[in-house]
Structure formats: C-alpha cells, structure tokens
C-alpha cells in the first residue's frame, strides 16, 4: 500500500490546503503589482497568472465544486424520500420541523448576541476612514409570507434544475409520505430509492479521492488574488468577526451540544474536521452538504431519517456565521458613521437578523441582503456594506465552516431527542475513519 493510501483523508486535505495557501502567497509576492509575468520557454512565453492562477487552479477548483454540487439535489431528494417513507409516525415530521427550526433560530440569536457584545467591547470601527467611493446597491428582500408561498413548487423538476432547496425539501417530504401510504407499490419503490441512495453515496466516496487536489486549487487561486493589504487596514473588524466565529463554534456549540445530548463535545468537534475543511475551502454550505450528511450519519451516529431532513434544512436556513458577521458589521458601520445605537436598536438587530435567516432562505447573496435589512431597520446607511465587502471572502469561508458545524449539532440534538441516534457510532473512534478507509479502498 502506498503512502498516499495510508494517509487519511483529513491529513491529505489539510496538506492540500496548506500547500495551496503557501503557493498562493508565494505567487502573490512574485507577481506583486504586476498584472502578469511571463516565463520565457524558447518557442513561447508562459504567463504565470494566466496559465496557473486563471487557468489550472481556476479549472481544478471549479470542477471540484461543480462535482460536489452535482450530488446535492439527488442526494437530498433521495435521502429525504428514504427517510420520510420509513417513518411510522406521520406526526414525527411536525416534531422534526419544529425542533429543527426552533434550534436553528435559537443558535442564530445566540450568535448575533455574542457578535454584538464582542464588537461593542472592542469597537472595531474606531479610527476607520470612510472611502468617498463607498457604495452598495441593496436588493429588495422577499417577505416571510412570500418565502412560505414559494416553498411549494409548481414544477418540482424546475425546482431541482435550479437547486431551490426549500421546494425540493417540501416535494421530497410529500413524495415520501405518499410512498409510505401506498402499500406494496410504495414498498417496491422504497427499495429502489434505497438502492439509489447507496449508489449516490458510493459516488460521493469516489469524489473524495480528488478532494485534496480540489482544495489545493481553490486555496492557491484565492491566496494569489486576495488583497492582504485591505485585510490589514480592516484588521480590527476582521479579527473581531473571526473571534466571534471561533467562540460560537467551539464554546457555544459545545455547551449546547452537551446540554441537549449529554455527549462529549470534544468527540463531536473532532469528527467535524472533514466537513469543516470542505466548508472552508468551498465557502458553500450547499456544496458541502453531501459531506455534511455523510458526517452526521456515518461518523456522528444520527439516523438518516432525521439527518436527511435537518441537514438540507440547515444548509438553507441556518446562518449563524452570517448572523455573526451582521452583528459585528452593524456595530462597525455605526461606529464608522458616528451613529449611536440604543439598547432597543441592538435588540431589534438581534430579532431582525434571527428572523431574516428564515425569511431570506434560498435567496442568492443572502448574507448581504440580510445585512441590508438589518441596517435599514436601525437607520444605518446601507452604503456602509461597501466598507467590508473587500475582506469578506476569507470570513465567508470561516462562517461557512461554522454553519456546517451548527447543522450537525442541531441534527445530533434532534436525533437524540427522537431516539434516532446511535451512541455506539458516536463513541467509536473508528467510525470517524470509515469514510477515509472506504475512499482509500475505492482509489486502490
């Protein structure tokens, strides 16, 4: 067996990530302010940025993300249908929905409260100059009523083609319930869906083989093009958001996990490594969803009947990381523009951001739309968003990892409360290696 096969998936992804960051920073230092540097090769000149950064790295990274996104719709639909049609108690769906949404809203409220408190203590907006060209065009957010109406698809095929996750979830739930009530016909179809689920999960396992290379390409391109100078200028804001994200991920989630499940948060966080690295490198909860679902079921022990519902729902409405950004950004923008917010204003920020996480679910650019809603609610200039857009890329990667951790925490809590949780799998350290071993065998 080769060294590459002996090395675990987590280690290989970490190596790919570190090498990508180092190479990206090196290329950025080489290029400097030059848009391009040519390497003479005799017959032709090889452009560093054009060939490597905008060529190989861009292609490799985008193929990797596209491969993960390719699995999202079939995996969510098939898993959710399998889980729903196996439910013996139809009332269970109502309980799952109530518990999941309730916990997601509670964690969002905690997240933004921590963010606002930390920002008020550190005051990241002190001494920041407003650029005269600051501008931002805020799109209109849909109302909660409109979001609820839009949850029900008029054309489920169109919903799947466009990746409308809320509509896919609703259709899968209705389809699964109909299968459960259809007797022998439903049972025959259920066996087909179980086989399809096995095949899709095998495809996911095969795609894990290219994960380290995909992560390398994504990191190399990002750190070649990212503006490190701008991050230094807004360093205080950057560090406050990062600190709030880490506090929420490691402290808040650990406390909630222990209180809700009685299990070890250390084991939980250890088994979240792969999913968090995928989330960090892709900056997309949706693209990471196949890995998140695999982590929740195969490593943490949540049954598929629960995880297939809570994970897609969480990827759509759980935005704790975004809520943290909104809390710090609100305080930051208020301080930059010299606006004094009252206690009532901050309470309104917490309420608005918490409810907006559901009200803007599935909307493109949801983070900035939610922030625009919050700023308008307390009378702050929406143009202030332009101040933070430049440093948001790295923070977006971190908050996606936080969101994914929250998805799995809520999944475990709901599964434990429904007696749909395998404690032996959770406590088994080898369960965390199952996906890696399967991947190595598939590659061999």
Kindly report, residue by residue over 25-35, the tens digit of the pLDDT.
898 888 876 67
Q: State pLDDT tens for residues 337-354.
A: 888 888 888 988 888 888
Task: Give the separation between CA 300 and CA 311, rounded to whole angstroms.
Answer: 13
Q: Which residue has the higher pLDDT, 381 or 107?
A: 107
Confidence of residue 367 (pLDDT cuts 50, 70, 90): confident
Beta carbons of 411 and 300 less than 8 angstroms apart: yes
**Helix 285-294, helix 392-417: angle, nearest 10:** 40
Distance CA 401, CA 171 (A): 28
Mean pLDDT of the chain: 84
Tell which wins on pLDDT, 179 or 4.
179
Task: Give the model's pLDDT for residue 164.
Answer: 84
Confidence of residue 104 (pLDDT cuts 50, 70, 90): very high
Q: Which of 191, 147, 207, 165 is nearest to 72 (CA)?
A: 165
Lowest mean pLDDT among 59-63, 69-73, 120-124, 139-143: 139-143
**From CA 325, how far away is CA 204, in angstroms rounded?**
31
- pLDDT for the residue numbered 32: 75
Query: In the predicted model, is pLDDT for residue 301 greater than 90?
Result: yes
Q: Answer whether 198's CB lies under 8 Å from 82's CB.
A: no
Which residue has better confidence, 288 or 142? 288
- Exposed, middle or buried: residue 322 (CB in 10 Å: 0-12, 13-18, 19+)? buried
Per-residue pLDDT, 116: 94
In this model, does residue 36 exceed pLDDT 80?
no
Q: Extract the tokens encoding 252.
A: 């808040």
What mean pLDDT is predicted for residues 411-425? 94
Average the pLDDT over 11-18 and give the result.
Answer: 89
Q: If you average pLDDT over residues 255-272, what whole number do you get?
A: 96
Q: What would the pLDDT profile of 110-164 be if each residue is shown by its tens digit?
A: 999 999 999 999 988 876 655 544 445 555 666 667 777 888 999 999 999 988 8
Question: Mean pLDDT, to the nearest integer, of 215-244?
Answer: 86
Report yes or no: 114 and 324 within 8 Å, Cβ to Cβ.
yes
In the chain, the percentage of residues whose pLDDT exceeds 90 is 39
| The pLDDT value given to residue 404 | 95
How far, in Å, CA of 360 to CA of 369, rounded? 8
Report the pLDDT value the prediction gives residue 88, as an integer from 0 to 100: 62
Which pLDDT does position 133 carry in this prediction? 47
Tell me what pLDDT residue 430 has: 76
Of residues 354 and 368, more confidently modeled? 354
Report pLDDT for 58: 92
Q: Residue 339's pLDDT is what?
A: 85
**Calculated CA dihedral for residues 374, 377, 383, 385, nearest 10 degrees:** -10
pTM of the model: 0.83
CB-count exposure of residue 319 (10 Å: 0-12, 13-18, 19+): buried
pLDDT at position 139:
59
pLDDT of residue 283: 85
Q: What is the pLDDT of residue 5?
A: 46
Residue 216 confidence class, pLDDT cut points 50, 70, 90: very high
Token pair listed for 308:
């297939």
């Amino acid at each position: 067996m080769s060294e590459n096969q002996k090395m675990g998936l987590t280690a290989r992804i970490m190596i790919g990530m570190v090498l990508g960051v180092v190479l990206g920073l090196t290329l950025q230092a080489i290029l400097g302010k030059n848009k391009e540097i040519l390497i003479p090769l005799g017959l032709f000149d090889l452009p560093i940025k054009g060939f490597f950064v905008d060529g190989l790295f861009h292609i490799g990274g985008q193929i990797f993300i596209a491969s993960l996104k390719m699995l999202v719709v079939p995996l969510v639909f098939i898993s959710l249908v399998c889980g729903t049609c196996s439910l013996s108690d139809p009332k269970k769906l109502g309980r799952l929905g109530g518990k999941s949404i309730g916990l997601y809203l509670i964690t969002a409220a905690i997240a933004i409260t921590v963010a606002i408190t930390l920002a008020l203590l550190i005051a990241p907006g002190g001494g920041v100059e407003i650029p005269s060209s600051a501008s931002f065009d805020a799109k209109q957010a849909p109302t909660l009523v409109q979001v609820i109406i839009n949850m029900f698809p008029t054309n489920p095929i169109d919903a799947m083609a466009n990746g409308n996750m809320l509509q896919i979830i609703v259709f899968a739930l209705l389809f699964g319930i109909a299968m459960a009530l259809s007797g022998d016909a439903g049972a025959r179809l259920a066996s087909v869906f179980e086989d399809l689920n096995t095949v899709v999960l095998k495809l996911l396992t095969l795609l894990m083989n290219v994960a380290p290379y995909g992560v390398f390409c994504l990191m190399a391109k990002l750190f070649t093009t990212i503006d490190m100078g701008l991050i230094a200028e807004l360093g205080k804001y950057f560090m406050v958001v990062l600190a709030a994200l880490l506090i929420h991920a490691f402290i808040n989630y650990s406390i909630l996990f222990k209180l809700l499940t009685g299990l070890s948060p250390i084991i939980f966080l250890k088994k979240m490594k792969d999913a968090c690295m995928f989330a960090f490198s892709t900056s997309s909860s949706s693209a990471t969803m196949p890995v998140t679902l695999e982590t929740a079921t195969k490593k943490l022990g949540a049954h598929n009947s629960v995880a297939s519902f809570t994970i897609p729902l969480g990827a759509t409405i759980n935005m704790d990381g975004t809520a943290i950004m909104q809390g710090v950004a609100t305080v930051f923008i208020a301080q930059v523009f010299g606006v004094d917010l009252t206690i009532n204003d901050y309470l309104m920020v917490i309420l608005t951001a918490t409810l907006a996480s559901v009200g803007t679910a599935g909307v493109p650019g949801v983070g900035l739309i939610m922030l625009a809603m919050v700023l308008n609610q307390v009378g702050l200039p929406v143009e202030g968003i332009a101040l933070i857009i430049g440093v948001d890329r790295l923070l977006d990667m971190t908050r996606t990892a936080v969101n994914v951790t929250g998805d799995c925490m809520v999944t475990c809590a709901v599964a434990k409360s429904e007696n749909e949780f395998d404690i032996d799998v959770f406590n088994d350290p080898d369960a965390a290696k199952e996906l890696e071993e399967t991947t190595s065998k598939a590659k061999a």
